[in-house]
């Protein structure tokens, strides 16, 4: 049991130890306010990264998610501010557009047997380009509902609160864990990532699963776009540039393998929080350049990949029967 | 296990007149095959016999050109492995087609997980997995990833999955190829239990001992045609091998009168051996063997497909690392660490698949010929162009390689000439021991004879040769000594006047001597 969850346990341990170290250095750190902000600030990243986890589990990759977030914020701003749409209708339209976009990429990947890297790279340029076609400016969204939604929060004593984006993140997380481990779709994803040909021989619906996983990633990127526009109150075609790489980082730190078949949604969640924690630490410190975030995350990513490689070698280098499973 | 109620009339699986051609080559030609309930039925044949085509056409991986397949009297035409499985025909391949990253339970139930309230019932899945596997005598942690278990265990899980998905007919395509003796015994226990439940099993293998250990009936294919179906107890080994090889055993020996001097030389071991192997072997590859090769001697390796011939020469050349025994060259014991060291010792190796492992198609004949010599000399000391041309021209003349000039890309030459250029590559290094794996495969009859003549001339010059060939007449024609292999084991060594086609065939078909685990031939 321990063996299989080791990457996950290591990631969570790094998160906990990191948090304790921060709390030792800054007395105010260990508070519900900091935790609440951590969740709120990283909600869009977390939601996207959960979608990315599914794609990577299936043996693929989705480079278009950052661009889809950017496109979604612009689409919302244009629909609400210029088109006079109600925000809920605009949300539905944005989710539909993002999901269809993902489905189209999944279909191309499956039907033409194209590498997901190339297809979603093209998708990234298309989505970013479409955002620029809609508008090149940053469009503020001033609809009253945005203010109300931003006020929705579960408040705790001492100033901490669980904002709407944080709640969305936690709900998506719970649903994703169920999807990964208690549905046939989840099992099929792991199977597909393990070995496509074997999965096909064992009756996994490869076409349906491939299209579905990119649809899901697109849908979650769209949802992240909505959260992002709530968070920033604007639509901007350059929003969330490079987020695809941040999400991939979170997935890998979370213990998943880029080749597919191994990984956990919870690990990704911890990976997102570790990145957020480093950022928060640098904000608290106040003297460090924010680029130290990137350096710390880079170093961490490297260590985690080495760790995984070692662990995988220890697992699969099977010495006859399992020693003690 | 539920007691089995036999079907009265129709056989489990009846294949009639099955034909399949690829690009005009008839891979299966009107083959009949019958699988009955509760039997283990061996499907045997040499390379190109049509075994895998039969299986793939049966399960719908290939579309058949003609013929019918009936399961318990009902005609079926599955369009793929998955559909075949739904029609109760399960297939398990040599390389286990399961998912090493999923748990044992998930592998057993992928796509048919027990559900509760719309979600996978993981508890029920674990319990059912344990129950299913205990029926196969397997008690393992079903939540552990499958990749952590031995190949044998994975194979049993694959069989359990197929059977649990209500397979009535089970096709096992070389399931024992990568198992050790103990694992094979466990697998056979499982097969016998399945047989008792009325399941019919098609068993494809190269191991004759295993056929006689577990199979009730034998069907032999050759060149895409049915040779015959026999009950195992009615078919002596000698007849089986004759069926597989397609030759009359009464035929006269093809041995050209042996040179008596050479015989005594070989017999009395007068000269010190060039190479000497003692207890040399590798687990799951070839059983430990003893082998001496003297200068000027041609040693043939004979045996059926999969008997361990290629594995033996790969060990000798250091392409695979032996894990037991010792090797000595010129009486000096050493460890063969790889082909580079073998080349340094003066070994050369012409592999079986010259397209994949031998020629470099885009390079010229000259470049292909000097390749090994250049490699041995080191790339930092290039052979002068003039010298390269001399070497190339000499071998083109010597071996009569038909090419307009030495600069022609080798891929434009015929197969026989490519083979001769490969030989030239190794001859240019003036090897002391040359290993030839199937030197005459895929080349025309004329070139065939030339290559045999060449082999005779080479050994007259003092070079030692180790030759693998499926052509028994050919081996008999040039070998002074023949080592016969069966089931990854050296079973006989014939020398001098003993080297005849009949003797080789009888050695292949001989009963296994009950031997210890290290039963290497003396």
CATH number for the domain harbouring residue A240: 1.10.3470
Q: Among B98, B107, B141, whose Cβ lies nearest the Cβ of A322? A: B141
B144 touching chain A per CB within 8 A? yes
Is B110 an interface residue toward A (CB < 8 Å)?
A: yes
Taking the CA of residue A182 and the nearest CA in chain B, the distance in Å comes to 5
Query: Which residue in the set B97, B106, B144 is minimally distant from A325, CB to CB?
Result: B144
Residue B265 contacts A, CB cutoff 8 Å: no
Assess A197–B contact: CB distance below 8 Å, yes or no.
yes
Q: Is the pLDDT of residue B261 over 50?
A: no
Q: Do B148 and A325 touch (CB under 8 A)?
A: yes
Cα A35 to the center of its chain, rounded Å: 18
Task: pLDDT tens for chain A, 325 residues: list them.
Answer: 456 777 888 889 889 998 999 999 888 888 888 999 999 999 999 999 999 999 999 999 999 999 999 999 999 999 999 999 999 999 999 999 999 999 999 999 999 999 999 999 999 999 999 999 998 889 999 888 988 888 888 888 777 889 999 999 999 999 999 999 999 999 999 999 999 988 888 888 999 999 999 999 999 999 999 999 998 999 999 999 999 999 999 999 898 888 999 999 999 999 999 999 988 888 888 888 878 888 888 888 888 878 777 776 666 544 333 333 3
Instruction: Provide CATH code, domain B251-346+432-522.
Output: 3.40.50.300
Domain count, chain A: 1
Q: CB-based contact (8 Å) between A303 and chain B?
A: no
Q: Which residue of B has its CA nearest to A191?
A: B99
Q: How far is B413 from chain A (nearest CA, A)?
A: 35
pLDDT of residue A210: 96
Q: Judge: A184–B102 Cβ closer than 8 Å, yes or no.
A: no
Q: Where are the domains of chain B?
A: 13-245, 251-346+432-522, 359-430
Of all residues in chain B, the one with the smallest CA distance to A263 is B101
A123 in a structural domain: yes
Instruction: Name every chain A residue with its beta carbon within 8 A of the beta carbon of B141.
Output: 322, 325
Chain B residue whose CA is closest to A193: B101
Q: How close B200 gets to chain A, by Cα (Å)?
A: 21
Structural domain boundaries enclosing A163:
2-308
Does any CB of chain A come closer than 8 Å to the CB of residue B407? no
- Chain A residue whose CA is closest to B99: A194
* Interatomic CA distance for residues B352 and B223, integer angstroms: 20
Chain A, chain B: beta-carbon pairs less than 8 Å apart: 90
Fold agreement between B13-245 and B251-346+432-522:
yes
Per-residue pLDDT reduced to its tens digit, B387-415: 888 888 888 887 778 788 888 888 877 77
- HEC sequence for chain A: CHHHHHHHHHHHHHHHHHHHHHHHHCCCCCCHHHHHHHHHHCHHHHHHHHHHHHHHHCCCCCCCHHHHHHHHHHHHHHHHHHCCCCHHHHHHHHHHHHHHHHHHHHHHHHHCCCCHHHHHHHHHHHHHHHHHHHCCCCEECCCHHHHHHHHCEEECHHHCEEEHHHHHHHHHHHHHHHHHHHCHHHHHHHHHHHCHHHHHHCCCCHHHHHHHHHHHHHHHHHHHHHHHHHHHCEECCCCCCCHHHHHHHHHHHCCCCCCCCCCCHHHHHHHHHHHHHHHHHHHHHCCCCCHHHHHHHHHHHHHHHHHHHHHHHHHHCCCCCCCCC
- Looking at domain B13-245, does it have CATH number 3.30.70.360? no
């Amino acid at each position: 049991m321990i063996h299989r969850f080791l990457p996950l346990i290591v990631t969570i341990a790094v998160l906990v130890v990191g948090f304790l170290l921060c709390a030792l250095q800054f007395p105010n750190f260990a508070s519900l306010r900091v935790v609440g902000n951590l969740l709120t600030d990283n909600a869009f990243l977390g939601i996207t990264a959960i979608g990315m986890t599914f794609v990577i589990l299936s043996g693929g990759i989705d480079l278009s998610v950052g661009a889809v977030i950017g496109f979604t914020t612009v689409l919302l701003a244009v629909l609400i501010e210029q088109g006079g749409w109600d925000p809920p209708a605009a949300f539905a339209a944005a989710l539909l557009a993002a999901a269809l976009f993902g489905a189209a990429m999944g279909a191309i990947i499956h039907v033409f047997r194209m590498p997901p890297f190339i297809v979603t790279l093209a998708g990234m340029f298309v989505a970013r380009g479409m955002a620029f076609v809609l508008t090149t400016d940053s469009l503020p969204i001033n609809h009253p509902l945005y203010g109300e939604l931003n006020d929705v929060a579960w408040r705790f004593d001492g100033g901490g609160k669980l904002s709407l984006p944080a709640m969305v993140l936690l709900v998506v997380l719970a649903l994703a864990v169920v999807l990964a481990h208690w549905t046939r779709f989840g099992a099929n994803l792991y199977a597909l990532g393990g070995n496509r040909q074997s999965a096909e021989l064992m009756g996994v619906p490869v076409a349906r699963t491939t299209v579905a996983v990119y649809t899901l990633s697109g849908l979650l990127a769209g949802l992240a776009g909505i959260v992002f526009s709530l968070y920033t109150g604007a639509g901007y075609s350059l929003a969330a540039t490079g987020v695809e790489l941040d999400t991939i980082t979170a997935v890998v730190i979370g213990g998943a393998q880029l080749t597919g078949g191994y990984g956990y949604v919870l690990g990704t969640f911890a990976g997102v929080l570790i990145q957020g924690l480093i950022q928060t630490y640098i904000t608290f410190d106040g003297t460090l350049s924010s680029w130290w975030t990137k350096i710390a995350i880079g170093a961490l990513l490297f260590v985690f990949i080495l760790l995984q490689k070692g662990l995988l070698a220890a697992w699969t280098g099977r010495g006859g029967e399992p020693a003690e499973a | 296990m539920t007691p089995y109620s036999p079907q009265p009339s129709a056989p489990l699986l009846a294949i009639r007149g099955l034909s399949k051609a690829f690009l005009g080559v008839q891979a299966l030609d009107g083959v009949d095959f019958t699988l009955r309930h509760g039997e283990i039925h061996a499907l045997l044949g040499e390379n190109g016999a049509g075994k895998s085509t039969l299986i793939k056409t049966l399960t719908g991986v290939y579309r058949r050109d003609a013929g019918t397949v009936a399961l318990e009297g009902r005609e079926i035409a599955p369009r793929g492995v998955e559909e075949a499985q739904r029609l109760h025909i399960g297939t398990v391949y040599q390389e286990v087609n399961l998912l090493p990253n999923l748990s044992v339970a998930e592998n057993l139930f992928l796509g048919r997980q027990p559900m509760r309230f719309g979600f996978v019932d993981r508890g029920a899945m674990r319990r059912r997995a344990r129950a299913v596997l205990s029926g196969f005598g397997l008690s393992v942690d079903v939540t552990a990833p499958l990749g952590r278990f031995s190949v044998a265990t994975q194979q049993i899980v694959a069989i359990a999955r197929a059977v649990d998905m209500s397979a009535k007919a089970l096709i096992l395509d070389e399931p024992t190829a990568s198992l050790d003796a103990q694992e094979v015994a466990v697998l056979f226990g499982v097969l016998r239990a399945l047989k008792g439940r009325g399941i019919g099993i098609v068993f494809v293998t190269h191991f004759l001992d295993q056929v006689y250990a577990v199979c009730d009936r034998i069907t032999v294919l050759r060149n895409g045609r049915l040779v015959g179906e026999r009950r195992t107890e009615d078919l002596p080994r000698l007849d089986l091998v004759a069926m597989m090889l397609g030759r009359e055993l009464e035929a006269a020996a093809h041995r050209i009168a042996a040179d008596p001097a050479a015989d005594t030389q070989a017999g009395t071991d007068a000269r010190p051996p060039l190479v000497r192997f003692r207890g040399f072997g590798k687990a799951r590859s070839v059983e430990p063997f003893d082998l001496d090769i003297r200068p000027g001697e041609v040693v043939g390796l004979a045996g059926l497909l999969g008997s361990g011939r290629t594995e033996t020469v790969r060990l000798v050349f250091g392409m695979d690392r032996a894990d037991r025994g010792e090797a000595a060259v010129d009486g000096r014991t050493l460890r063969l660490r790889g082909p580079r060291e073998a080349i340094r010792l003066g070994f050369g190796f012409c592999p079986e698949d010259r397209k994949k492992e031998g020629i470099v198609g885009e390079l010229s004949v000259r470049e292909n010929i000097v390749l090994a010599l250049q490699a041995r000399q080191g790339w930092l000391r290039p052979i002068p162009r003039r010298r390269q041309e001399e070497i190339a021209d000499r071998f083109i003349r010597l071996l009569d390689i038909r090419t307009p000039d030495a600069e022609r890309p080798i891929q434009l030459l015929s197969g026989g000439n490519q083979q001769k250029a490969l030989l030239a590559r190794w001859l240019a290094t003036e090897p002391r021991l040359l290993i030839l794996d199937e030197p005459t495969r895929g080349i025309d009859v004329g070139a065939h004879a030339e290559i045999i003549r060449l082999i005779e001339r080479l050994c007259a010059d003092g070079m030692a040769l180790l030759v693998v060939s499926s052509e028994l007449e050919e081996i008999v024609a040039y070998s002074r000594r023949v080592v016969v292999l069966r089931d990854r084991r050296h079973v006989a060594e014939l020398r001098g006047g003993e080297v005849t086609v009949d003797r080789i065939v009888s050695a292949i078909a001989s009963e296994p001597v009950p031997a210890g685990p290290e039963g290497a031939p003396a």
